[in-house]
Structure 1
Amino acid sequence: MGLTPTPDGKVDRRNLIMGAAGLAGLAGLGGAFPAWARSGTPGLMPSPGVLSGDAIALTVDKSHFSTGGRSGHAVTVNGTLPAPLIRLKEGRNVRIAVTNRLDEDTSIHWHGLIVPFQMDGVPGISFPGIAPGETFVYDFPVRQSGTYWYHSHSGMQEAVGHYGPIVIDPAGPDPVQATREHVIVLSDWTPIHPHMLLKRLKQNGGYFNMQRQTLAGLLAGRDQDIDERLRWGAMRMDPTDISDVTGSTYSFLVNGHGTTENWTGLFTPGERVRLRIINASAMTNFNVRLPGLPMTVVQCDGQNVQPVETDEFQIGIAETYDVVVQPSEAKAYGLIAEAIDRSGLVRATLAPRIGMAAQVPPLRARPLLGMKDMGMDMSGMGHDGMEGHSMKMRDPAVAPQVKMGPGVATLSPMPVDRTAERPTGLEHVTHRVLTYADLKSLTPNSDKRPPSRTLDIHLTANMERYMWSFDGVKLSDGAQPIALRHMERVRVNLINDTMMPHPIHLHGHFFELVTGAGDHNPRKHSVNVLPGGKVSFDLTADALGDWAFHCHMLLHMHAGMMRVVTVRHDGEGA
């Protein structure tokens, strides 16, 4: 149970009885939550209610969900939000039968899992989808270990509850040693249907931004100076426009629980506790910290990394981070996930017994974007140089493959590699912050060949009109597939021509993020590209088939920021 022992090493009987009674009460209140996600979870293995083995059954259906005074329609799996925890074993084969009881098509994508493309679960790309009343059986070998997750790729159902965690135990010894572990699924929730969110953003790209700069803020010195404010105004852009949908609309959740519901994971002081943290949000990147408790990052996107200690990290949508903490005191520690625009946060608790609640910190001052976030590092330039650069931003010669038009408001003339920089909103905090450059794979990467060619892919948008694309072309407007040859080695440069970070996910593959670590560049399946920045990764196209490649901000993907990557043998067509 993780209860604090007495000085003679025995568990206090009174605490044990109180703990058991509390767990029973929480179980009664938490009928909408799977056992792994209920507050008071011991975190000991084997955990109750986990789906495992070679044959698993899932049912997708309509439900109702409420949190923090908000309630609405939900899509759930086996009647719970989040969905059940699936625990698999590397080297085994699994058959997962998914039955659709909705009145619309559904699907499940196994995010980060290396599966045959027919099992990848993307309607229109790898399979037709699962029609109402039908059952589809996913059948694939389990070829990896680590922390992953699953979610719908249909009808934006992911935004209304259709997501859950996956843990895959390694076939051999696990290099990460811990006494217990907790799965932490971060998400955002609103009763407003995602199609309505999209409609409102189409009408006004800043519809949900309640943190715009004010004259009072300017006079008080909280906002940018007048000169820089005028520059942003001339470009019709807002340096506070960091998140499309904000805490004014979203409730932020840990394992389906808001702050007042206080999800609690138990520990015994002195033991090593592994936290498997998954960002299953539709639209929110989070900054994660445990005040007073250092975190040792041991895994990213399911791949083991050389342990690195930090105090805070930013987790992009669709990323996973495993961290180990070792609380030494019998007190409550707050797990804080704060939206990167500082419009809201969620607090969960790690504690030696249930009923304890960690402090809820105040929201930190909202960040402001600078010229570097526009791909224009204006240091050393005066105001006189602004006009020329503003025009150059719209010069198609900067990126000849980009289709210019109303959907491309800007092109960054000076994008820089920002993988070693602190991410948005954490540039000036005084404690340690993880960067991608801090991540190094635990074992050397297997393919040491240099890339044979380079692909530049621009992340493009007209944010005011809420238009999103790759290279200026939406998927629905006939974007051509990105054609790769089987086993070829390619360097991909992602260039962010927008002033928002974009978590970009490639299905069916891992890539090595180019950070300067050589053979130990970190392996990932998703990468958050900072505003005005660029990210390079080396990819071995080792998975035949058709694969989705998209921004994991759900509304961006739905609006067109998505392509298909085809991998074929030499001599075969795309």
Structure 2
Amino acid sequence: MSVGAARAFPAWATSGTGGAAAKGAVLSGDLIQLNVAQGHFGVGGKSRHAISVNGSVPAPLIRLKEGQNVRIAVTNHLREDTSIHWHGLLVPFQMDGVPGVSFPGIGPGETFTYEFPVRQAGSYWYHSHSGMQEAMGLYGPIIIDPAADDPVSHDREHVIVLADWSPVHPHMLLKRLKQMGGYYNMQRQTMAGLLAGRDQSLKERIDWGGMRMDPTDISDISAAAYRYLVNGHGPDENWTGLFAPGERVRLRIINASAMTNFNVRLPGLPMTVVQCDGQDVQPVETDEFQIGIAETYDVIVQPEKAAAYALIAEAIDRSGLVRATLAPRPGMVAPIPPLRPRPLLGMKDMGMDMSGMNHGEGHAMRMTMRDPSVAPQVDMGAGVATLSPMPVDRTGERPTGLEEVDHRVLTYADLKSLTPNADHRAPSRSIDIHLTANMERYMWSFDGVKLSDGADPIPFRHGERVRVTLINDTMMPHPIHLHGHFFELEIGQGVHNPRKHTVNVLPGGKVSFHLTADALGDWAFHCHMLMHMHSGMMRVVTVRHAEDGA
């Protein structure tokens, strides 16, 4: 089968589309049928086995209405179990689609019918929670229209699904990472970089080498293995969405990648962020934002000229990018900017903000970082190489790689919910959760314990209000997702703190959020970097009535 013959796009993902509402672009109604089956997918001249939904990769767009009840029948035509998780949707836990947590999974030849009320509006997505099927093509967008008037006025909309794709099977990618954590890092520092003054000084290299740290280790898997996609199209294929000059165009941007955080911009065209993780926010204009894996951002752009504009999604390690185009007619192209210099991690990314310290204090800090006695509440086994001695709240800081760009960059601190949050209670208790790893051995965990090693569930009482603090003891950002709930980031906006289901915790940073445990059941809680989750960075959250016990 040729690469060209292997491609099958759903209508919403076809290049040159007039918008996501185009006739035939969606699955909707009270009963929807999804068929999961073997397929192929090719990009950049290489094709391999994929998993398709209704014959296509990416999967069909599902469009629902807030307030409706929906039944989605999923039939498994594979020779292995499958599942679908409705990412960000508030559903009964039995319908959440996580094998071993909320249901057994869907066996070969079986049909499972998900049935749930649609309790919200916004931009979401769905994906497999079985094996690594998500990385093999089983992902697609969900749009839910509000029951009342949409607070976001727009003339046209496009769904923009970002993804990464490799001709190498994801299990092989993971095997290589376990053999050598930096297997796909082709951007290490060189002697030429040292002499040219582009990289760390010799002393800095010696200090970092003594701690067995690599300041270029930003993404586990880079463009050395991945092609980056917009709606299933590679950068050379130039996916194009149409507009008429002067229109307010809504872009529903979803990061469905397995392992890639992206920096997103449209050179020459400002973006107004109006929604994050499906939740309306007070409009805020920016020129670039970082979208963590599994996050969604809705933005409004208003191109006045009949010109082509490039939509650029650059991997945060700057090893590669994917572009799409907004244009008044098909065939137009906009200049593709060159890749920007790759960033280097610093002391703050290790949880060691050295500003104001003398040399002796800094030396002591490096030593305690490797001393298991500094944090006895965390299991310092072989799976934990470091703990951040001075983690700081970085929600107001520009994210990795965007610290020095000369235009506006969105931070979490810029986000305010459009309407006041429903629960104004102060939390009755607080818990800390450490994001831990031995990156050299490619071991990932929460609080030093992998899920497969018998990690205890994290218990909540139904209806209680809890302050949760995530502390990143690693040198990578982690997009942490809690199923079945939204939480409010603690960023000083009071009742307008933004509501999210996924939060990207910067290296050496910490993020606090307030959670109302209002959804009974067992819920997955994990890093959404697929290979981190599969390597142990996952727990189960239980929500029980007080009288039901632990």
Range into which the TM-score falls when normalised by the shorter chain: over 0.9
Partner residue of 2:360 out of 384, 401, 409: 384
Shift of residue 397, structure 1, vs aligned partner? 4.8
Q: Supply the AA of the counterpart residue of 2:43.
A: T
Alignment partner of 1:233 is 2:212:
no
Q: What's 1:563 paired with?
A: 539
Q: What's 2:193 paired with?
A: 217
Question: In 2, distance between residues paired with 1:440 and 1:30?
Answer: 44
Aligned residues: 547
Q: What's 2:140 paired with?
A: 164
Any idea what SS the aligned residue of 1:260 has? helix
Change (3 A) 1:88 1:365: same
Partner residue of 2:166 out of 182, 186, 190: 190
Partner residue of 1:123 out of 66, 85, 99: 99
**Counterpart contact for 2:7–2:40, Cα < 8 Å:** no
Question: In 2, distance between residues paired with 1:29 and 1:524?
Answer: 40
Alignment partner of 1:500 is 2:476:
yes
Alignment partner of 1:302 is 2:278:
yes
Question: In 1, distance between residues paired with 2:121 and 2:196?
Answer: 52
Partner residue of 2:454 out of 474, 478, 494: 478
Q: What's 1:9 paired with?
A: none
Matches within 5 A, 1:86-485: 86-485=62-461
Shift of residue 152, structure 1, vs aligned partner? 0.1
Alignment partner of 1:516 is 2:503:
no
Shift of residue 49, structure 1, vs aligned partner? 2.9
**Structure 1: gaps of 5 or more residues:** 1-27
Any idea what SS the aligned residue of 1:389 has? helix
Q: What's 1:16 paired with?
A: none
**Counterpart contact for 2:12–2:20, Cα < 8 Å:** no
Question: In 1, distance between residues paired with 2:429 and 2:249?
Answer: 43
Shift of residue 573, structure 1, vs aligned partner? 2.8
Shift of residue 391, structure 1, vs aligned partner? 2.2
Provide TM-score, normalisation by structure 1: 0.94
**Counterpart contact for 1:512–1:523, Cα < 8 Å:** yes
Shift of residue 46, structure 1, vs aligned partner? 4.6
Question: In 2, distance between residues paired with 1:281 and 1:416?
Answer: 27
Any idea what SS the aligned residue of 2:363 has? helix
Q: Supply the AA of the counterpart residue of 2:196.
A: A
Partner residue of 2:51 out of 68, 75, 83: 75
Shift of residue 226, structure 1, vs aligned partner? 1.5
Alignment partner of 1:543 is 2:523:
no
Alignment partner of 1:50 is 2:32:
no
Any idea what SS the aligned residue of 2:548 has? coil
Question: In 2, distance between residues paired with 1:100 and 1:45?
Answer: 28
Any idea what SS the aligned residue of 1:571 has? helix
- Over residues 161-213 of structure 1, what are the superposed CA-to-partner deviations in whole Å (9 max), with x where a residue is unaligned? 00000000000000001000000000000011111111101110000000000
Question: In 2, distance between residues paired with 1:538 and 1:196?
Answer: 38
Q: Supply the AA of the counterpart residue of 1:385.
A: E
Provide TM-score, normalisation by structure 2: 0.98
Question: In 1, distance between residues paired with 2:224 and 2:312?
Answer: 18
Any idea what SS the aligned residue of 2:56 has? coil
Question: In 1, distance between residues paired with 2:366 and 2:534?
Answer: 29
**Structure 2: gaps of 5 or more residues:** none
CA-based RMSD of the aligned residues comes to: 1.1
Identity of matched residues, %: 80
Any idea what SS the aligned residue of 1:364 has? coil
